[in-house]
Structure 1
Amino acid sequence: MKTVHVAVYDTLADWEVGAATAHIANGAWHREPGTFQVTTVGLTTEPVTTIGRMRITPDIAIADLDPADSAMLILPGAELWVGNELNAFADKAKQFVAAGVPVAGICGATFGLAKAGLLDDRAHTSNVAEYLVYSGYSGADHYVEAPAVTDRDVITADAMSPFEFAREIFARLGLYEPHVLEAWYKLFAHSDPAGYATLAEYEGSHAA
Structure 2
Amino acid sequence: MITVYAYVLDTMADWELGFAASELNSGRFFKKDAQAVSFKTVGTTREPIKTMGGLTIIPDLFIEEIVDIGGLNAGDAAVLLLPGANSWNEPKHAAILEIARKFLQHGAIVCAICGATAALANAGLLNDRRHTSNGPGFLEMAAPGYAGQRFYVDEPAVTDGNLVTAGATGALPWARHIIELLDVFRADTLEEWHEYFSTGEAKHFFALMQTLQ
Class of the TM-score when normalised by the shorter of the 2 chains: over 0.9
Task: Note if 1:195 corresponds to 2:209.
Answer: no
Match of 1:105 in 2: 112
Amino acid at match of 1:202: T
Q: Percent identity?
A: 38
Match of 2:129 in 1: 122
SS of residue paired to 2:180: helix
Aligned 1:45-194 pairs, distance under 5 A = 45-68=46-69, 69=72, 71-134=78-141, 135=143, 136-194=145-203
TM-score with structure 2 setting the length: 0.90
Deviation at 1:55? 0.4
Q: Distance in 1 between matches of 2:166 and 2:201?
A: 22
Deviation at 1:174? 0.7
Cα deviation 1:159-198 (Å, max 9, x = unaligned): 1111011001101111111111111100112213332122
Amino acid at match of 2:37: F
Q: 1:29·1:202 contact (CA, 8 Å) conserved in 2?
A: no
Deviation at 1:2? 2.2
Cα deviation 1:41-65 (Å, max 9, x = unaligned): 0001111110111000000000111
Q: How many residues were matched structurally?
A: 204
Q: Distance in 2 between matches of 1:133 and 1:17?
A: 24
Mark the runs of 5 or more structure 1 residues left unpaired by the alignment. Answer: none
Residues 28 and 112 (structure 1), Cα distance of their counterparts in 2 relative to 1, 3 Å cut: same
SS of residue paired to 1:129: coil
Deviation at 1:33? 5.6
Amino acid at match of 2:154: E
Residues 55 and 152 (structure 1), Cα distance of their counterparts in 2 relative to 1, 3 Å cut: same
Deviation at 1:137? 1.5
Residues 175 and 33 (structure 1), Cα distance of their counterparts in 2 relative to 1, 3 Å cut: closer
Mark the runs of 5 or more structure 2 residues left unpaired by the alignment. Answer: none
TM-score with structure 1 setting the length: 0.92
Q: Distance in 2 between matches of 1:86 and 1:157?
A: 19
Deviation at 1:93? 0.4
Deviation at 1:66? 2.4
